[in-house]
């Protein structure tokens, strides 16, 4: 029952950084420190030379169940999560039916439990069917287990509705998550508007489509006092406004996705549908701003926006192909890339995958504190590997990183004290 | 030197030598199209499939005639949009066509990049006959051919492209080719019709038509897509015609020997005043006739044994 | 190709078959034969096959003019589009322009080429000619007939009959191409 993770380099942001042991018992963390004794009858996991981290928390995944099980199921999504070191994932409500009621919420939680791999936490819809008109039963969603609310992918365009949602969510201290996109400005667009879209003749989505809504949401958060979390920000303008809003004390957190700090719009050349996501890949200048935002704390969270799509969907021509890429199994090495580049310290990087996302939604996760759930991710910092989509646990293989040589491998993922994933043969 | 590529997807990726080779080859076919018997056996036994997802009688007919004059077998295939809606992807359709042993597929599609997607997926040669707002290489090649036929040199040539550049594949292909060949390209129209960052592709943007036309050697008018009215690109056709319509007075601003071109069909009284349209019908008919020769040249150059 | 191999400097690979004088005399004789056979040149036109045949055709009309005082019409024919190996080639040969600025209907057309070998070029040229109109008669003049015919084709006027092996390369080099006039067999490098 008891497990002693011995001799690893423990990074529990803000709490413990250094070589040490982590003791797990009864599904909880029971001790962290140097030279802990092996408990009688307990197992020992030798972690010398490895990083021992709190299990990663992803605030932004699409597990497609119910409704689109051919892309991903909660089972396959959970397997993908733990393979990428994520022990807790928050599922966006754009399923079919939309998660705008207790029944769907309970279904997702139950399926997550059956899968028995990661903590699967639902995010409820802001409005019924995410149509942006009438509020969903946010109180019910909260009570049945939703950890935040969002109309992700179908952003609430009506500012009054958004204001009411924020005000109403205050009653439950629920975080309101918005995918910031002015649908009129973005209409028909399928990549960043700029030189590359002009060259390729593709309809563009201007950076302003995001910036306008970031500005609106910040102002509404200021007006209402609601907890606002901005999903996958991708533009220099968003970073600038969030930085300024934080300085003024607005309750906002922001996330960035690995693809938005790793790739630029030039990836779309050749009409590569694996470079089609929303928000779109932006310019080099935006990428620099995102990195700077991550570095100075403007951007709190790294989230994947794991968006599986079937191969035949991504094989359509560029304008027809759906937006999104899978991200759970490549997030860690891409994030560690920022450490190698000198953008983030290792502890900062770990924070953005663990403590910071947990705090954004008020989850008791992402920590190795004594008494916390025993969610632990063990990482070989220096192991090099090549991204091979056919080896993904996810049902879908839509990634632009196929063939990339990366560094940083999840060796073991422990969820609630049980080993949920172990790398290698 | 041959055209050492499987597909013709756009002019952005062609070298000036390749563009000149196509124009020179078209010259040889121009002679053929002037004969009593306008047919040569060069593509005997080859199969050319016109795969048109968007209706375009003019371009399809031009390719069809070109292929037939080269003695190729021609199949016209216009998948109903309904079968595409049913979930059949472009590649599914194309693989079916490839199974008919098509040597060359001529593709027209409403999505930018459709030709690239197709070319990656099939062994047949793919000729882009227009993909979304991206490129329409054979149209631009016939424009170039027509300019050259009029005795104009590309180096130092001033060309004004007037109209909705943002949504025009013809404008893009011409921009790529003309700048490569050393011409000065001016894009004339309101900012709503100019694609983002287009100056970085080597063009100069003019919002004032009179200023844009001053001293140019070629005026290339784009066809106004009337259905775009109401999409906030321009307020009314009347105002558009006043600001960006080509009138006889405006033609006077250009170089005295300037030629006016239009891919056709003209919206008379919209982008071109009726009297100007009448006086330029000869160039437009030249463009059509040259289109067949240029497409024969392209088909010939693409018809390498697989 | 390096200058040493192709230019005037190195001729060690060549076996000389006809020198400039031989070529001049052969062309003069062919010009006389054309005039004699057609009883004048009233209805005669010469069409050179690109590229070598065009230069020879030009030389022939000069001689015919000297003999008869008449300048016969001359045309240039590119046979590329009529080649029977077109569909099999990996790279399409560069097209040159066909230019026959007169009506060939009812004319006696003398096709002119430099070397007659398999006969396939002449077959293509005759197809090409037929698409231009219906000549009264087609005759064939060549500077060299090297044998090895693969089609039932025979020249009416021959500068020189040259027995060769199939593998040998016969080249007709002319001043118009920047060479000294000569016909050679080029030995393939050992």
Digit-coded pLDDT (tens) for C78-121: 998 888 777 666 667 777 788 888 999 999 999 999 999 999 99
B66 in contact with C at a CB cutoff of 8 Å? no
Of B27, B42, B305, the CB nearest to C81: B42
Task: Give B221→chain C minimum CA distance, Å.
Answer: 32
How crowded is residue C94: how many other Cβ atoms within 10 Å of its Cβ?
14
Task: Quote the strand ranges of A26-107, DSSP E.
Answer: 28-33, 43-46, 51-54, 56-61, 86-91
A199 in contact with B at a CB cutoff of 8 Å? yes
- CB contacts of C94 in chain B (<8 Å) are 1-2, 21, 25
- Burial of residue C68 (CB within 10 Å: 0-12, 13-18, 19+) is middle
The pLDDT value recorded for residue C4 is 41
- CB contacts of B121 in chain A (<8 Å) are 315
Q: Mutate which of C97, C104, C106 to disrupt the B interface (most B C-beta within 10 Å)? A: C97
Name C16's bridge partners. Answer: C184
Buried b or exposed e, range B96-127, using 16+ CB within 10 angstroms: ebbeeebbbbbbbbebbbbbbbbbebbebbbb
> Which residue's entry shows tokens 């779309």?
A268
> CA–CA distance from A382 to each of A50, A83, A86, A419, C89 (Å)?
9, 17, 19, 22, 53
Residue A306 has pLDDT above 80, yes or no: yes
> Which residue's entry shows tokens 């070998």?
C117
Which residues of A are part of the catalytic machinery? 305
The pTM for the full model equals 0.87
How far apart CA B69 and CA B250 sit, in angstroms, is 40
Specify the 3-state DSSP secondary structure of C96. Answer: coil
> Which residue's entry shows tokens 């109401």?
B230
Of C82, C89, C127, the CB nearest to B305: C89
Is B touching A (3+ C-beta pairs, cut-off 8 A)? Answer: yes
The pLDDT value recorded for residue C86 is 73
- CB contacts of B3 in chain C (<8 Å) are 92
The answer to whether the Cβ–Cβ distance between C95 and B25 falls below 8 Å is yes
- Taking one residue from A and the other from B, the number of pairs with CB-CB distance under 8 angstroms is 67
How far apart CA A10 and CA B13 sit, in angstroms, is 52
Categorise residue B108: left if φ over 0, alpha if ψ from -120 to 50, beta otherwise: beta
Query: A268 to chain B: nearest residue by CA?
Result: B113
Name A175's bridge partners. Answer: A148
- CB contacts of B33 in chain C (<8 Å) are none
Write phi, then psi, for B173 (nearest 5 degrees).
Answer: -60, -40
Retrieve residue B262's tokens. Answer: 């239009």
- CB contacts of B293 in chain C (<8 Å) are none
C82 in contact with B at a CB cutoff of 8 Å? yes
Who's near C119: CB < 8 A, 6+ residues apart? C149, C150, C151, C152, C153
Nearest by Cα to C110 from C169, C64, C47:
C47
How far apart CA B141 and CA B125 sit, in angstroms, is 18
Average pLDDT, chain C: 89
The answer to whether residues A292 and A239 touch, using CB atoms and an 8 Å cutoff, is: yes
- CB contacts of C131 in chain B (<8 Å) are 35, 37, 39-40
Kindly report each contact of residues B233-239 with a partner whose C-beta sits within 8 Å and lies 24 or more positions away, as own/partner. Answer: B233/B164, B233/B190, B233/B192, B233/B193, B234/B190, B234/B192, B234/B193, B237/B270
Nearest by Cα to B185 from B219, B153, B151:
B219
Of C90, C127, C132, the CB nearest to B35: C132
Retrieve residue C128's tokens. Answer: 């090409």
Element holding A403 (H helix, E strand): none
Name C157's bridge partners. Answer: C141
| Total residues belonging to chain A | 425
- Taking one residue from B and the other from C, the number of pairs with CB-CB distance under 8 angstroms is 62
Predicted-complex ipTM score:
0.90
The answer to whether the Cβ–Cβ distance between C94 and B31 falls below 8 Å is no
How far apart CA B170 and CA B130 sit, in angstroms, is 8
Query: Which DSSP string corresponds to B190-242?
Result: -GGGS-TTGGGGTEEEESSHHHHHTT-SEEEEPPP-GGGTTTTS-S-HHHHHH
Kindly report each contact of residues B74-81 with a partner whose C-beta sits within 8 Å and lies 24 or more positions away, as own/partner. Answer: B74/B47, B74/B48, B74/B49, B74/B50, B75/B47, B75/B48, B75/B49, B75/B50, B75/B100, B75/B102, B76/B49, B76/B50, B76/B52, B77/B49, B77/B50, B77/B51, B77/B52, B78/B51, B78/B52, B78/B53, B79/B51, B79/B53, B81/B53
A194 in contact with B at a CB cutoff of 8 Å? yes
**pLDDT string in tens for chain B (306-residue length):** 467 789 999 999 999 999 999 999 999 899 888 888 888 999 998 999 999 998 888 999 999 999 999 999 999 988 765 455 555 678 888 888 888 889 999 999 999 999 999 998 899 999 999 999 999 999 999 999 999 999 999 999 999 999 999 999 999 999 999 999 999 999 999 999 999 999 999 999 999 999 999 999 999 999 998 776 667 788 889 999 999 999 999 999 999 989 999 987 888 889 999 888 887 766 888 888 999 999 999 999 998 754
Parallel/antiparallel/unpaired status of strands C137-145 and C157-161: parallel
Nearest by Cα to A328 from A307, A347, A312, A343:
A307
- CB contacts of B42 in chain C (<8 Å) are 80-82, 86
Digit-coded pLDDT (tens) for A247-284: 999 999 999 999 999 999 999 999 999 999 999 999 99
How far apart CA A328 and CA A397 sit, in angstroms, is 11
DSSP 8-state secondary structure symbol assigned to residue A268: G
Is B touching C (3+ C-beta pairs, cut-off 8 A)? Answer: yes
Query: A321 to chain B: nearest residue by CA?
Result: B89
Query: Which DSSP string corresponds to A190-202?
Result: -EESSHHHHHHTP
Spans of chain C, pLDDT less than 70? 1-10, 87-91, 188-190
* CA-based max dimension of chain C: 51
Cα C57–C63–C64 angle (5° rounding)?
85
- CB contacts of C126 in chain B (<8 Å) are none
Q: Mutate which of B36, B39, B45 to disrupt the C interface (most C C-beta within 10 Å)? A: B36
The answer to whether the Cβ–Cβ distance between B133 and A201 falls below 8 Å is yes
- CB contacts of C97 in chain B (<8 Å) are 27-28, 31
- CB contacts of B132 in chain A (<8 Å) are 201-202, 319
Task: Give B38→chain A minimum CA distance, Å.
Answer: 37
How far apart CA A171 and CA A192 sit, in angstroms, is 38
Task: Give B102→chain C minimum CA distance, Å.
Answer: 14
Is C touching A (3+ C-beta pairs, cut-off 8 A)? Answer: no
Of A197, A270, A316, the CB nearest to B116: A270
Name the more confident of A197 and C91.
Answer: A197
Task: Give B135→chain A minimum CA distance, Å.
Answer: 8
Task: Give C35→chain B minimum CA distance, Å.
Answer: 30
How far apart CA B105 and CA B99 sit, in angstroms, is 12
Neighbours of chain B (3+ CB pairs under 8 A): A, C
Specify the 3-state DSSP secondary structure of A61. Answer: strand
Residue A289's Cβ-side half-sphere holds a number of Cα atoms within 13 Å equal to 18
The answer to whether the Cβ–Cβ distance between A202 and B109 falls below 8 Å is no
The answer to whether the Cβ–Cβ distance between B113 and A200 falls below 8 Å is yes
The answer to whether the Cβ–Cβ distance between C81 and B32 falls below 8 Å is yes
B27 in contact with C at a CB cutoff of 8 Å? yes
The answer to whether the Cβ–Cβ distance between A202 and B200 falls below 8 Å is no
How crowded is residue A244: how many other Cβ atoms within 10 Å of its Cβ?
12
B47 in contact with C at a CB cutoff of 8 Å? no
Digit-coded pLDDT (tens) for A329-346: 999 999 999 999 999 999
The answer to whether residues A149 and A125 touch, using CB atoms and an 8 Å cutoff, is: yes
Digit-coded pLDDT (tens) for A117-176: 999 999 999 999 999 999 999 999 999 999 999 999 899 999 999 999 999 999 999 999
The answer to whether the Cβ–Cβ distance between B31 and C80 falls below 8 Å is no
Categorise residue A234: left if φ over 0, alpha if ψ from -120 to 50, beta otherwise: alpha
How far apart CA A350 and CA A410 sit, in angstroms, is 13
The pLDDT value recorded for residue B272 is 92
Average pLDDT, chain A: 97
């Amino acid at each position: 029952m008891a497990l002693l993770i011995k001799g690893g380099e423990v990074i529990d942001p803000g709490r413990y950084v250094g070589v040490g042991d982590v003791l797990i018992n009864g599904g909880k963390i029971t001790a962290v420190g140097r030279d802990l004794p092996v408990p009688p009858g307990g197992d020992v996991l030798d972690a010398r030379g490895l990083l021992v981290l709190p299990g990663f928390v992803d605030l932004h995944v699409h597990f497609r169940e119910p409704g689109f099980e051919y892309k991903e199921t909660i089972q396959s999504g959970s397997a993908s999560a733990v393979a990428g070191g994520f022990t807790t994932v928050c599922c966006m409500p754009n399923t079919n039916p939309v998660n705008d009621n207790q029944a769907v919420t309970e279904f997702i939680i139950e399926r997550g439990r059956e899968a028995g791999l990661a903590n699967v936490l639902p995010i409820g819809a802001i409005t019924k069917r995410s149509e942006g008109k009438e509020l969903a039963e946010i109180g019910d969603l909260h009570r049945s287990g939703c950890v935040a609310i969002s109309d992700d992918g179908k952003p609430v365009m009506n500012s009054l509705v958004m204001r009411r949602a924020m005000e109403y969510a205050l009653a439950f201290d629920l975080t309101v998550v918005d995918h910031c996109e002015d649908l009129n400005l973005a209409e028909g667009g399928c990549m960043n508007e700029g030189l590359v879209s002009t060259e390729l003749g593709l309809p563009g989505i201007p950076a302003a489509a995001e910036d306008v809504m970031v500005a609106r949401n910040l102002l509404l958060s200021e007006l209402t006092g609601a907890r606002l979390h901005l999903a996958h920000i991708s533009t220099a303008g968003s970073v600038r406004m969030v930085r300024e809003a934080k300085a003024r004390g607005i309750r906002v957190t922001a996330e960035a996705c690995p693809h938005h700090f790793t790739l630029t719009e030039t990836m779309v050349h050749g009409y590569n549908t694996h470079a089609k996501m929303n928000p779109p890949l932006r310019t080099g200048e935006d990428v620099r701003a995102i990195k700077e935002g991550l570095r100075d704390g403007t951007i709190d969270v790294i989230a994947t926006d794991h968006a599986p799509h079937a191969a035949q969907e991504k094989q359509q021509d560029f304008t027809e192909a759906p937006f999104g890429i899978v991200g759970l199994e490549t997030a860690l090495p891409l994030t560690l890339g920022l450490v190698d580049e000198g953008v983030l310290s290792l502890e900062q990087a770990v924070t953005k995958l663990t403590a910071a996302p947990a705090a954004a939604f008020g989850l008791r996760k992402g920590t190795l504190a004594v008494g916390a759930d025993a969610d632990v991710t063990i990482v070989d910092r220096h192991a090099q590997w090549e991204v091979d989509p056919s080896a993904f646990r996810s049902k879908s293989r839509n990634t632009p990183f196929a063939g990339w040589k990366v560094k940083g491998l999840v060796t073991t993922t422990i969820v609630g004290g049980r080993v949920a994933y172990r790398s290698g043969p | 030197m041959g055209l050492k590529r499987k597909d013709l997807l756009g002019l952005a990726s062609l070298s000036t030598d390749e563009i000149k080779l196509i124009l020179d080859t078209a010259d040889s076919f121009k002679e053929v199209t002037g004969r009593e018997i306008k047919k040569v056996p060069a593509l005997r036994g080859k199969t050319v499939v016109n795969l048109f997802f968007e209706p375009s009688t003019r371009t399809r007919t031009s390719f069809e005639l070109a292929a037939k004059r080269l003695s190729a077998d021609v199949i016209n295939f216009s998948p109903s949009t309904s079968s595409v809606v049913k979930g059949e992807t472009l590649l599914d359709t194309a693989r079916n066509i490839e199974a008919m042993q098509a040597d060359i597929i001529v593709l027209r599609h409403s999505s930018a990049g459709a030709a690239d997607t197709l070319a990656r997926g099939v062994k047949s040669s793919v000729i882009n006959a227009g993909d979304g707002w991206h490129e329409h290489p054979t149209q631009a090649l016939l424009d170039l051919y027509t300019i050259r036929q009029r005795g104009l040199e590309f180096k130092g040539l001033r060309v004004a492209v007037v109209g909705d550049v943002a949504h025009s594949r013809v404008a893009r292909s011409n921009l790529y080719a003309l700048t490569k060949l050393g011409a000065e390209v001016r894009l004339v129209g309101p900012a709503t019709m100019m694609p983002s960052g287009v100056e970085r592709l080597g063009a100069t943007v003019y919002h004032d038509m009179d200023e844009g036309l001053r001293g140019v050697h070629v005026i290339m008018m784009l066809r106004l897509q009337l259905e775009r009215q109401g999409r906030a690109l321009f307020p009314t056709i009347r105002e558009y015609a006043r600001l960006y319509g080509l009138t006889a007075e405006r033609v006077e601003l250009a170089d005295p020997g300037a030629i006016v071109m239009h891919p056709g069909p003209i919206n008379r009284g919209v982008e071109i005043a009726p009297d100007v349209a009448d006086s330029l019908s000869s160039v437009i008919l030249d463009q059509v006739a040259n289109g067949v020769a240029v497409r024969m040249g392209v088909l010939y150059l693409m018809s390498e044994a697989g | 190709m390096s200058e040493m191999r192709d230019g005037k400097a190195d001729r060690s690979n060549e076996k000389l078959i006809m020198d400039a004088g031989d070529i001049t005399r052969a062309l003069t004789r062919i010009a006389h034969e054309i005039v004699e056979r057609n009883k004048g040149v009233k209805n005669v036109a010469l069409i050179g096959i690109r590229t070598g045949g065009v230069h020879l055709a030009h030389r022939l009309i000069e001689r015919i003019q000297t003999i008869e005082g008449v300048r016969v019409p001359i045309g240039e024919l590119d046979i590329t589009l009529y080649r029977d190996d077109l569909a099999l080639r990996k790279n399409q040969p560069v097209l040159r322009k066909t230019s026959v600025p007169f009506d060939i209907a009812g004319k006696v057309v003398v096709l002119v080429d430099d070397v007659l070998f398999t006969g396939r070029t002449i077959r293509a040229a005759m197809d090409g000619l037929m698409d231009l109109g219906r000549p009264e008669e087609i005759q064939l003049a060549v500077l060299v007939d090297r044998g090895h015919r693969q089609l039932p084709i025979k020249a009416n006027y021959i500068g020189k009959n040259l027995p060769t092996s199939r593998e040998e390369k016969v080249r007709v080099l002319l001043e118009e191409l920047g060479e000294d006039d000569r016909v050679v067999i080029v030995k393939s490098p050992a």
